[in-house]
Amino acid sequence: MRILRSTIAASAVLMLGLTACSTSTSGTSPAPTTDAATSAAASTPAESPAASESAPAEGSGEVPKGDGTQTIYLVSKGFQHRFWQAVKEGAEQAGKEYNYKIQFVGPDDETKVTQQLDQLKTALDSKPAAIGFAALDTGAAADVLSQIEAANIPMIAFDSGVDSDLPLTTVQTDNYAAAEEAAKHMAELVGNKGTVGLVCHDQTSQTGKQRCEGFQDWMKDNAPDVKVLDPQYAGEVGLAANTAKAMIQANPDIVGVYGSNEAAATGAVQGAIESGKEGITVVGFDSGKTQLDAIRNAQMAGAITQAPVKMGYETVVSAIKAIDGQELPKVTDSGFAWYDKNNIDDPEIAANLYE
């Protein structure tokens, strides 16, 4: 397994826009306790993101240390998957640095909305100093969010965010811009013509919607000769594989498939192989062993990676600033970058990849 390492992206840091890995792997939380140069650099915190060139300048006030008695409670969309463990690492790093207790929980998988709501209620009942929340379904969480607001507990959204005015900031990848970057590379790879399919991991979270809409909109505005099929939704590897295979078999002129998260992209690779059709360009999102191997083996052209350690770190830092009464920007960008066989082992990319 490639262990995520704390690093600072070397060289120039490029523009970032704005939420998840939206993986569909299972995990159980414990009880509360290059073209890469043309995309945004995805750096992780070293001693502190404040020391990183990629740390957002907006809202960058001092971060006061706590007295060790207060808890910041993060409720994520998953737990055991390496992405969420990396987010947890970053959160705990910031908690240790600024003397706050950190509780990090998540449901068994990203379909377990009720389980996540129970965890959010537990977070509220524990009366923490602040809550970080990556919502699976904001609408389903509306009642609990209202209770958090009534309790005057600061909320920081992260990853997929929370479709509400309650969060004081959202720490996330600019998923729309990242999807645009994926579309740009796809268009270049297929010669700006042909039919391209979309396997999107969900249609309810902000992440799911933005990662498809950004891709579609970029193609519409910049690649008029690329026909983009209507999105098909599949958040589990097996279903994504079947979806991609059926899509390829039903469209003889298809030249590429985009998968909007690890499960969707992994399934797209599998489906392309099982279809027996050669020359299908697969572009993905996030990482994972199958995607990394597929890129090295030329079964996938490339993918977008996020910076999960930095995401967790900045979520806790933002929570501390909120506790201190500081004004926060609407969005705190955690970064993304394109990677392929040419830069997959570059230090600033490798630090954000996981198996």
Q: Where are the domains of the chain?
A: 36-173+307-339, 175-305
Between CA 139 and CA 25 the distance in angstroms is 23
Would you tell me which CATH number, out of the four given (2.60.40.10, 3.40.50.2300, 3.40.640.10, 2.60.120.920), belongs to the domain 175-305?
3.40.50.2300
Between CA 149 and CA 136 the distance in angstroms is 19
Query: Per-residue pLDDT tens for 217-259?
Result: 999 999 999 999 999 999 899 999 999 999 999 999 999 999 9
CA angle 54, 185, 159 (to 5 degrees): 45
Q: Which residues have CB under 8 Å from 165's CB, separation 6+?
A: none
- pLDDT score at 60: 54
- pLDDT score at 11: 31
> Torsion over CA of 114, 152, 85 and 83, rounded to 10 degrees?
70
Q: Structure tokens of 104?
A: 């990090």
Grouping H, G, I as helix, E, B as strand and the rest as coil, residue 145 is: helix
Q: Which residues have CB under 8 Å from 304's CB, separation 6+?
A: 39, 178, 179, 181, 182, 284, 285, 286, 336, 337, 338, 339
DSSP strands (E only) in 206-301: 226-228, 232-233, 254-259, 281-285
The predicted model scores a pTM of 0.68
Q: Evaluate whether 179 touches 213 at the Cβ level (below 8 Å).
A: yes
Q: Structure tokens of 135?
A: 């919502």
Token pair 């990394």: residue: 292
- Calculate the alpha carbon distances from 133 to 104, 147, 164, 279, 325 in Å: 10, 14, 12, 41, 19
> Could you list the pLDDT tens digit for every one of the 355 residues in the chain?
333 333 333 332 322 333 334 443 333 444 343 343 333 444 444 443 332 333 333 445 799 999 999 999 999 999 987 889 889 999 999 999 999 999 999 999 888 999 999 999 999 999 999 999 999 999 999 999 999 999 999 999 998 789 899 999 999 989 999 999 999 999 999 999 999 999 999 998 888 999 999 999 999 999 999 999 999 999 899 999 999 999 999 999 999 999 999 999 999 999 999 999 999 999 999 988 899 999 999 999 999 999 888 899 999 999 999 999 999 999 998 989 999 999 999 988 887 887 7
Asked whether this chain's domains 36-173+307-339 and 175-305 adopt the same fold, the reply is yes
Between CA 274 and CA 259 the distance in angstroms is 16
Between CA 316 and CA 329 the distance in angstroms is 15
Strand-pair partners of 40: none
- Class for the domain spanning 36-173+307-339: alpha beta
Q: Which residues have CB under 8 Å from 297's CB, separation 6+?
A: none
Query: Per-residue pLDDT tens for 142-193?
Result: 999 999 999 999 999 998 789 899 999 999 989 999 999 999 999 999 999 9
- Residue 184: phi, psi to the nearest 5? -60, -45
- pLDDT score at 141: 97
Instruction: Tell me which residue of 221, 210, 147 sits closest to 179, measured CA to CA.
Output: 210
Separation of first and last alpha carbons in the chain: 5
